[in-house]
Amino acid sequence: MFKKLKIFISFILLFLHSITLSSLSAQESFLIGSIEERCQKALDYYLTRPDLETEYFRRLEFCINTVKDVSPEGYETNPIISDFFSKYGVNGRTRVQVHQGVDIIGYANEPILAIADGVVLETALADCVGPNVVIDHGLSYDNKRLITIYSHTGDYLVKEGQKVKRGSTVAKLPEKIEYPCMARVRHLHLQIGQQYCEKKDKNTWGCGFFIKDLYSSLNPNNFWLKDNGKVRCFEKDRKYKQGVLTYPFKCKKK
């Protein structure tokens, strides 16, 4: 009798173990901060959608194979999943229009840092896209206006009209992915235009999404990449030249 019970219990344990293994929450545990782990966390929308398991694995694979690690030597930071001018979206689908911004994946509630000093023009919810923070970062080193849209954010940490310092947290990445344009992948879309649409001009001709030059945006990489192709991370107590940008996520020492 006892033996039978023992067999029964081990059978149950084995069964439970296999369930855990096949569930989305218990995939291989990757190294903290590794590309694999970052992709997995950016896709945690799927944790509550076991019915989309096939899609999850496809997107995880796309993410791992696609992201660009821009971390400087000895540091790690959030990788870019869809770069400026990319033909593909964060979900691997072909875009209708080449990408006008940079998409950077991240964890739930991760702080989004101001890429330079500036003034908050707007915090606004947009259909499909979700929450946005728009900041006037003044002029670039080559005298271009830097009207920057931080999209697909979670909670705002700044108010309209507020002055912000480079490296300060302007918003957090969302915990839940609720808006369709986020494409089930947690990421910051950062886009730089030069002509801001005043609120009164909103939704008038040419003013669809905060800026007038929606399809002639500036490439953020031109302002935050260093000669070695790695990003300039924000460092406290460091002086930056006017018009130079720093990456919108923290860089951690390895």
Closest to Zn ion by CB, 186 or 189: 189
* Segment lying near Zn ion (by CB under 5 A), choices 72-80, 185-193, 218-226, 229-237: 185-193
Q: Is 151 helix (H, G, I), strand (E, B) or coil?
A: strand
Residue nearest to Zn ion (CB): 189
For position 189 contacting Zn ion by CB under 5 A, the verdict is yes
- Identity of the residue, 30 or 88, whose beta carbon is nearer to Zn ion in the bound complex: 88
- The answer to whether 162 and 134 are in contact (CB under 8 A) is no
Stretch that binds Zn ion, among 64-72, 167-175, 187-195, 231-239 (CB under 5 A): 187-195
Residues 23-42 that bind Zn ion (CB under 5 A): none
Of 24 and 154, the one with the shorter C-beta distance to Zn ion is 154
Q: Mention every residue, 6+ apart, whose C-beta is less than 8 A from residue 156.
A: 123, 131, 133, 170, 171
User: CA end-to-end span of the chain, whole Å?
Assistant: 55
Nearer to Zn ion by C-beta: 101 or 106? 101
DSSP class of residue 28? -
Residues that bind Zn ion (rule: CB under 5 A) add up to a total of: 3
Contact partners, residue 239, CB within 8 Å, separation at least 6 = none
Complex with Zn ion: residue 137 or 189, whichever CB lies closer:
189
Residue 236 burial (C-beta neighbours within 10 Å; 0-12, 13-18, 19+): exposed
Say whether residue 184 binds Zn ion (CB under 5 A).
no
Nearer residue to Zn ion within complex by CB, 76 or 103: 103
Least distance (Å) between residue 150 CB and Zn ion: 11
Please say which residue, 102 or 120, places its beta carbon nearer to Zn ion: 102
149 vs 104: CA distance, rounded Å: 13
Site string for Zn ion, 49-68 (x = CB under 5 A): --------------------
Q: b/e string for 14-52 if b means 16 or more Cβ within 10 A?
A: eeeeeeeeeebeeeeeeeeeebbebbbbbbbbbeeeeee
Query: Three-state DSSP class for 185?
Result: coil
- Is residue 83 at the binding interface for Zn ion, with CB under 5 A as the rule? no
| Nearest by Cα to 216 from 133, 99, 127, 81 | 99
Shortest distance, position 88 Cβ to Zn ion, whole Å: 11
Cα dihedral 205, 206, 209, 210, rounded to 10, equals: -100
**Binding pattern to Zn ion, positions 84-123, x when CB under 5 A?**
-----------------x-x--------------------
The site for Zn ion (CB under 5 A) is made up of: 101, 103, 189
